[in-house]
Amino acid sequence: MNYRVINQENYYRKGVFRHFSKDCRCSTSMTARIDVTELIQYSKETGTKFYINFLYILSKVLNSRDDYRMGYLWQTEELICYDVINPTQYIFHEDTETCTPVYTKYDENYRRFYTEALQDAENAKKTREYRLDIQNHPNWFDASFIPWLSYDALNIELPDGHLFFAPIINWGKYREENSRFVMPVSVRLNHAIADGYLVANVFRLLDREIQLFVRQ
């Protein structure tokens, strides 16, 4: 785990950061549907899992900008940017109707990521434990699939007693609309390091990366 410390006086979002870290601590979130028609087709043609393919694309998107890799060390009051952030998967168990968190490392190499993410998920199916270790995994973000519903909105509230900057991403069941398949995705970021543009930009980047991915 490596990071660099951001000079808060030179930070390009200095004013916004100060306001939403001191005066008005809050989050900003958005839900939108993205077109996953071609990603579904690619997954079927290659015999790969749509879920892991999307997890890879999502991880790539969130690692593409410093804004999505921010962190805050409350002990030293330092604003930092991680070199890389990794997804925390949640594996659902039908028998207990509970989830097991899985810490998966992001690898820009798709094949390596796919193999590791798949193995992590298979290992998690063998346990029913719910173990989150945020202290030792500060540069991990939540990536949670909600397969039972193609929802229209989702809101996650966090008490900002401290500044939690890791993205929280949820996505639901895709559905057919106008002969295309669309999937709801929800993006939550802390307002101190992100505004409406940066949240919306995640969806724009997902659209772009999906097109690049299916044409590789």
Mean pLDDT of 107-126: 97
pLDDT at 40: 98
pLDDT at 17: 96
Q: Where are the domains of the chain?
A: 3-214
Tens digit of each residue's pLDDT (9 = 90 or more) over 16-31: 999 999 999 999 999 9
Contacts of 76 (CB under 8 A, 6+ apart): none
pLDDT at 99: 96
Tens digit of each residue's pLDDT (9 = 90 or more) over 158-176: 765 678 999 999 999 999 9
Rounded Cα gap, residues 22 and 143, in angstroms: 28
Provide φ and ψ at 144, rounded to 5°: -120, 125
Rounded Cα gap, residues 81 and 7, in angstroms: 11
CATH architecture of the domain 3-214 equals 2-Layer Sandwich (3.30)
pTM of the model: 0.96
Provide φ and ψ at 72, rounded to 5°: -140, 125
